[in-house]
Structure 1
Amino acid sequence: MTFEGTMTALITPFDENGDFDEEGFRENIKSQIDGGIDGIVPVGTTGECATLSYEEHEKVVEVAVDAADGKVPVVAGTGSNSTKEALMLTNYAAEAGADGVLLVAPYYNKPTQRGLYEHYKKLAEEVNIPQVIYNIPSRTGRNIEAETLIKLSELENVVGVKEASGDLNQVMKIARGSGEDFDILSGDDSLTLPILSLGGVGAVSVASNLVPGKISDLVSSYLEGDVEKARDIHFELMPLFKALFIETNPGPIKAAMNILGKPAGKPRLPLVEAESETKQKLREVMSELGLIK
């Protein structure tokens, strides 16, 4: 299976007590599908996977699969800094009916490139489900180097990478060295257009929580050959891309969703609600885009 187009890195909405808001989550997924999104990614960075219990993590995946109802692929975040835990979560996602999994690089313990390779090799061999590697060194403390990713692309079940290193030279090396059946997905909204130009086939987007139609249109326009339209949408959304990362994700996107009246709630500690200045900037940008009055 390949994952092309736009997939939304879903927020995990919480209620006033800080518990998982299942009804709100289902509402958000319906809105995403109605907005033309190509897939959903629950329990990733934006979904605050690091502060969910195992039971909550599994519940969110179950609800996502049920709410998607086969209309769009579900690629569940199942990465961990422990290979054993990643195996457990990945097995569960496969059993729950997810179409694929997103595996963030092991964080905190800073494995070597050999360690990273062996980690992903173990997962690929143990669980028969399409696996997308997630490279985001700003959060994990370790970059998965292009040479390692190219080697990993040769493994059965490893189907792509969500690239959020911010290094376009690395993206070029991966595109040149991996096969045509290895999907390169942008993991940074501001770099989606450049990554598409280097051979990327889609994006895992934070901004599409807010504007699914716009992000879908950007990606599909480029893939269909209308580069000018894709570029116009990119320039239109640049202020939003910037505003959504004034503070640590998912603080700003949750604030923006709350402003729009969508289920979101506050982030879980140690993350905190976006500052008032950030909320004001978001309102200004959202007003300019016609999302609010």
Structure 2
Amino acid sequence: MSIQWEGVMPAVTTKFTDTDELDLKMFEKNINAQLEAGVHGIVLGGTLGEASTLLDEEKRILTKTTVNLVNSRVPVLVNVAEQSTKAAIATAQKAEDDGAQALMMLPPMRYKSGDKETVEYFKAVANNTSLPIMIYNNPVDYKVEVSLDMFEELLKCDNIEAVKESTRDISNVTRIKNRFGDRLKIMTGVDTLALESLLMGADGWIAGLVCAFPAETVAIYELQKAGRIKEAIDIYRWFLPLLELDINPKLVQNIKLAEVYTKIGTENVRAPRLPLHGEERKQVLKIIEKSLGNRPKLPDYKNL
């Protein structure tokens, strides 16, 4: 099984009710907004999806619900972020059973694995699922870097196909292309470097603010792909203050507040997270309201 590693794939938020249950009604509303905007895949249970707070059964409900909603229009990816190799293999196999088309994988959680341990962890999961895998390389937040030499070993597994490139080093896109060509697809994972990464050869964008602004996000991707760079840059410059809400410890709360303003989400987060309050909330609202006040008119990006 393989998928097209390209385009915009939102790392969607998980919606909760006021009583801390899964809010599948609002979740469906957001997924439909993403599909209407023209996204190219859906990523479940990532950092924005509050993966560490979800029960195993909740993850499975979200996967099955999304697979049914999407109905094969775009691939559904499930994040694997576990503390043990055994648990990671089990998560991958459940995702496959529940209809996911691919996996996004983080290094082991809590324990800071060494290079060999990290490689063996990823390979063990790859060897126990038929699903294609995207390695999430985010040493800034997760303290483990997957080097090019490590990828050389990992690519011996045919189903390790892509990287979510979140090192914050824009030149890494070129290093990967120079070393691996098209064997390792690149999905940029940092909103504030997204357009730069795409212009340097990244194949797609695992996006955050897309959760609240799906059309603008997809428009940037489609415009740059069509060579209409100035138009893409103009939208991107408008978008940047919002995109910066993603590179913040409160990214979940920030983006959920933005979803409220675009009417495709709620502020509900799962404890220990709490909704924004006080001066912090005022500052985020100022950014959101100012951006909505001069929201750009988009070209017909779906028919470029």
Match of 1:199 among 180, 198, 201: 201
The CA distance in 2 between the partners of 1:125 and 1:253, in whole Å, is 35
The CA distance in 2 between the partners of 1:223 and 1:150, in whole Å, is 28
State the SS of the aligned residue for 2:167: coil
Task: Say if 2:213 and 2:262, in contact at 8 Å, map to a contact too.
Answer: no
Give the deviation of 1:291 after TM superposition.
6.5
The within-5 A match list for 1:148-163 is 148-163=150-165
Number of aligned residue pairs: give it: 293
Unaligned runs of 5+ in 1: none
Task: Say if 2:81 and 2:106, in contact at 8 Å, map to a contact too.
Answer: yes
Task: Say if 2:107 and 2:113, in contact at 8 Å, map to a contact too.
Answer: no
* Partner in structure 2 of residue 266 of structure 1: 268
Correspondence 1:68 to 2:70: yes
* Partner in structure 2 of residue 97 of structure 1: 99
Q: Which amino acid aligns with 1:144?
A: V
The CA distance in 2 between the partners of 1:16 and 1:165, in whole Å, is 36
State the SS of the aligned residue for 1:263: coil
* Partner in structure 2 of residue 119 of structure 1: 121
Q: Identity rate of aligned residues, in percent?
A: 25
* Partner in structure 1 of residue 30 of structure 2: 28
RMSD between superposed Cα atoms in Å:
1.9
Correspondence 1:9 to 2:11: yes
The CA distance in 2 between the partners of 1:73 and 1:291, in whole Å, is 34
* Partner in structure 2 of residue 42 of structure 1: 44
* Partner in structure 2 of residue 178 of structure 1: 180
Q: Which amino acid aligns with 1:259?
A: Y
Match of 1:213 among 207, 212, 215: 215
Greater displacement, 139-148 / 15-24: 139-148
With the length of structure 2 as denominator, give the TM-score of the two structures: 0.90
Q: Cα 1:154–1:177, aligned 2, differ >3 Å: closer, same or farther? A: farther
Give the deviation of 1:273 after TM superposition.
1.4
- Offset from partner CA, 1:242-268 (integer Å, 9 cap, x none): 134444221111122123333334222
Q: Cα 1:58–1:285, aligned 2, differ >3 Å: closer, same or farther? A: same
With the length of structure 1 as denominator, give the TM-score of the two structures: 0.93
Task: Say if 2:33 and 2:264, in contact at 8 Å, map to a contact too.
Answer: no
State the SS of the aligned residue for 1:41: strand
State the SS of the aligned residue for 2:127: helix
The CA distance in 2 between the partners of 1:56 and 1:77, in whole Å, is 13
Give the deviation of 1:184 after TM superposition.
0.3
